[in-house]
Amino acid sequence: MDRQKLIERRDELRDRLGAIRRDLGGGLDRDLEEQAQQLENQETLMEIARVAEAELADIERRLAGEEE
C-alpha cells in the first residue's frame, strides 16, 4: 500500500474509533431488555475497536518506518 493510501486508511480508522468511543461512552437504557441488547452491542463494538486499533498501530508503524 502506498503512503497516501496508508494515510487515508489511518484517518478512516481514527474516525471509526472515535465513533465507537462515543457509542461506548453513552449510558445504558433504563429498560432491562434494552440494556441486555446494549451490552451485547458493546461487546461487538469493543472487538471491532480492538481490531481497528491493531490495524491502526500497524499503519502508524509503517508510516513511521517510511520517514526514516
Q: Cell numbers of 55, please?
A: 490495524
User: By three-state DSSP, how is residue 26 classified?
Assistant: coil
Helix locations, the chain, DSSP H: 3-25, 32-67
Mean pLDDT of the chain: 93
Query: What was the pLDDT predicted at 26?
Result: 84
List pLDDT tens digits, range 25-41: 888 888 999 999 999 99
| Single-letter amino acid code for the residue at 11 | D
> What is d(CA 25, CA 48) in angstroms, rounded to the nearest whole number?
15
Q: Model's pTM, two decimal places? A: 0.82
Contact 3, 60 (CB under 8 A): no
